Amino acid sequence: MHEGGTAVVEVVLFHHALGLTEGVVAFADALRAAGHTVHTPDLFDGRTFASVQEGVGHAQEIGFPEVVARGVRAAEELPGEAVYAGFSLGVLPAQMLAQTRPDARGALLIHGCIPVTEFGDAWPSRVPVQIHAAKDDPFWAEDEAAAQALVAEAAEAELFLYPGDQHLFTDSSIPAYDADATALLLDRVTAFLAS
């Protein structure tokens, strides 16, 4: 427990296609400041990229199944119950772990969502989920139907859309950053973790 009596939550936060950037670390630090334990596995072995296209190209070279497998291996080395969180590309391992690990406590899917059927028959009823995205993000257009279906299916699910068209608006180390939207998103995420 930390000050105020709120339980400390273990969070496994997977980075986006740019890699484990300073902005991803800053987001994790904000959750740590709220009293939680946050792990940030590096799925790219220290490499970072200047554009989503470059990062996705690197992920394609590795292979998306291998990206997910790296996330699974990282989670296996950590304590049991956890909330699995991911930004964009990081949604792949986060969602897979949230759907398949019996000790998953929740899921935070930020800038993306995958059809539930990719990782099983149904979303587990015991796992609450929050989904966050920019309303006019062109990448979001590909994921919106999956997100709507997940919200309709899950016992406890929320979908939050933010103004703007920037894909990775939560990353303070890149030009896409939106401080106001990120502050609101962090408020919602910390409330989710507190519950």
Tokens read off for 182: 């990120």
On the question of pLDDT at 76 being above 70, the answer is: yes
Percentage of residues of the chain with pLDDT beyond 70: 97
Which pLDDT value is given to residue 55?
96
- Rounded to two decimals, what is the model's pTM? 0.95
Query: What are the boundaries of each domain within the chain?
Result: 10-194
DSSP state of 17: T
CB-based burial of residue 51 (10 Å sphere; 0-12 exposed, 13-18 middle, 19+ buried)? Answer: exposed
Report the chain's mean pLDDT, rounded to a whole number: 94
On the question of pLDDT at 44 being above 50, the answer is: yes
How far apart CA 84 and CA 109 sit, in angstroms, is 8
On the question of pLDDT at 5 being above 60, the answer is: no
Instruction: Find where tokens 């990782």 sit.
Output: 119
Point out which residues pair with 85 in neighbouring strands. Answer: 13, 108
Confidence of residue 1 (pLDDT cuts 50, 70, 90): very low
Tokens read off for 38: 């946050």
How far apart CA 36 and CA 32 sit, in angstroms, is 5
- List Cβ<8 Å contacts ≥24 apart for 61-69: 64/92, 67/43, 67/92, 67/93, 68/92, 68/93, 68/96
Point out which residues pair with 14 in neighbouring strands. Answer: 86
pLDDT tens figures, 129-163:
999 999 999 999 999 999 999 999 999 999 999 99
Point out which residues pair with 157 in neighbouring strands. Answer: 129
Q: What are phi and psi of 109, to 5 degrees?
A: -110, 110
User: Stretch 49-70: mean pLDDT, rounded?
Assistant: 96
Closest by Cα among 111, 100, 149, 155 to 129: 155
User: Stretch 58-80: mean pLDDT, rounded?
Assistant: 93
* CATH class of the region 10-194: alpha beta
